[in-house]
Structures are given as structure tokens and as C-alpha cells.
Homo-oligomer: A and B are copies of this chain.
């Protein structure tokens, strides 16, 4: 059954996970395989696999939270990729980040916007990229 949380986690991740997310998980392997297992089991096996919110909405609230925290740029990068993979439009992601200027302030919103920009450019989704 612990195996099954792990499996459920991988299954949930399967459709959305990006290279950026993969990279974060891989970095954990030699320092703490237990932590890598927990990342699959708790966030993905226990939370993201739940019904009640679709994956697109889960990505948008995650982007809202990461923008508010301010410091987690790698996770924001991974979830911007994941959000696009899950079918969020770039306009929706930009809109979420812009709204965070109200709740978390402009420095948080601007820094997040630049991370999103980097992801959009890397996927050829900005007009001049």
C-alpha cells in the first residue's frame, strides 16, 4: 500500500511532470532517497491525486503559492512547465502571477514573472523568443 501511494504519485505526475520537475527529483537521489520517495508519496500520491480540483487549477494555485513565497525559483520553473503541460495557457499563468502583486507585493510578482518568462522563452512561446 505504501507502494501504492508511490505508484499513485507517479501516475499523477506522469501526465504533467516536466524535465524541470524530473531534475529536482533526480537531485535528491544520492543525498536522500527517502526524501525523493516522500515527494512522490505525499504531494503527488496523497494530495495531487485527490478529486475535487482539476490539475489545471492545482497548478495555478501552486504558482500562486510559489510566487507568494518568493524564494523557490526552481519549483516555480518546474510548475510553470507542468502547468503548460496540463493545458494551462500562458495567459492564465501570467494572469495568476500579475494578481499576486496585490497579495504578495510587486517584488514577488515581478520575480515570478521573470521565471515564467524564462520558461515561455525556452518553449518558444514568446513572440520574440
Instruction: Give me the interface of A with B, judged by CB distance under 8 Å.
Output: 1-2, 4-5, 24, 27-28, 30-32, 34-35, 38-39, 41-43, 46-48, 50, 52-53, 57-58, 60-72, 74-75, 91-92, 94-96, 98-111, 113-114, 116-117, 120, 126-129
Partner of A106, one of B32, B43, B57: B43
Knowing A31-B94, A114-B27, A120-B31, the reply to whether A71 touches B68 (Cβ < 8 A) is no
Copies in the complex: 6
What's the minimum C-beta distance from A21 to chain B, rounded to whole angstroms? Answer: 11
What's the minimum C-beta distance from A127 to chain B, rounded to whole angstroms? Answer: 6
User: Do A24 and B100 have beta carbons less than 8 Å apart?
Assistant: no
What's the minimum C-beta distance from A37 to chain B, rounded to whole angstroms? Answer: 9
Knowing A98-B38, A99-B47, the reply to whether A104 touches B69 (Cβ < 8 A) is yes
